[in-house]
Structure 1
Amino acid sequence: MKKFDTLMNKLPIIYALFIPVNFYMHILGATVCNIHPAFFIVLDILRILVIALYGHYLALRYDESKNEKDVSNMFMFVAGIAFLAFVYNTVVSLGLSSVTRSANESIMVAAMVLELMIETIAFFHIAKQDAKLITVIWVGINIALGIVALADLNNPGKNAFWYVMIALVTRDLYKARIIYSQELVNQKQDVK
């Protein structure tokens, strides 16, 4: 039980590091490398597990008396979407469905966008508990990411892939900062 408690205390750091690394490994595998699909299946299963455990961690940390929003259910919803996308993609990849490649990519992108939107809202509520400036920067980063992604969709001739990647890296670094600052607040409250 002690090992589980230690793992739960490290979960924000694991979430902040693993989720972006997982995403960038998928991008790397899709664009540059020829990595065995089993590796990505394991990564996807671990991703779902990390998201669900982080949601559980937030549920354990939730304090009703502080009058703050419980965002743990949002992370459980993201884990559910990730699981459904994983099952769908596995079925399509195994050839058990007659979905075209472009339709499959569209469905996977829609699932990813939905996950990003829900995660953005959840981290908005987490950041709001900490400071107004953090909230403004978080919203600004996500709006910039949306504008760059929409510009790429509207004019695919201009390769905005790297701009989207830079915006995503900035978003992930700032998300890690939000998690870290929230953990500092939680540690101070635990000491009291």
Structure 2
Amino acid sequence: MPRSQRNDNFIDKTFTVMADMILKVLPANRKAKEAFVYYRDGMSAQADGEYAEALDNYYEALKLEEDSYDKSYILYNIGLIHASNGEHEKALEYYYQAIDLNPRHPSALNNIAVIYHYQGDRLKEEGNSEEAEALYDKAAEYWREAIRIAPNNYIEAQNWLKTTGRSQIDVFF
């Protein structure tokens, strides 16, 4: 039984009913609509912590989805799952694929920066300050781009850029 038919939560059921209604009137081909159903079920499974099921749905959505913008969000969500499982290198692969399809994806840019920053912190703790600084610089590069696209987001990153001297401008909005 598809996940969309199993939701016990009132909000999930309401969302599913609304999404199904929109899907019926959406001027999209059958393949795109089917891709959306898999994507929606993947998001639902991911929200419930059912990562294997979510990945299965996302991979099916990827096979069907033709729109590069929509594909970028599927890839981004796959990256989220790998990151939450501590598979940072795998997560980076998916975030990079998302950015290749949608260079203006600030969340993917932010998450790449977060991983580089985290890896920098680990290296710094191990005493590898020079390598850590290189990763911090990479994190800064991705955060600056994410902030350029979404200037009202990522306040902590903006503060970190400013306090570490990695900010290229004085004021963020």
On whether the aligned pair clears a TM of 0.5, the verdict is no
TM-score of the aligned structures, taking structure 1 as reference length? 0.28
Higher relative contact order (CA 8 A, sep 6+): 1
| More helix by percentage | 1
TM-score of the aligned structures, taking structure 2 as reference length? 0.30
The higher radius of gyration belongs to: 2
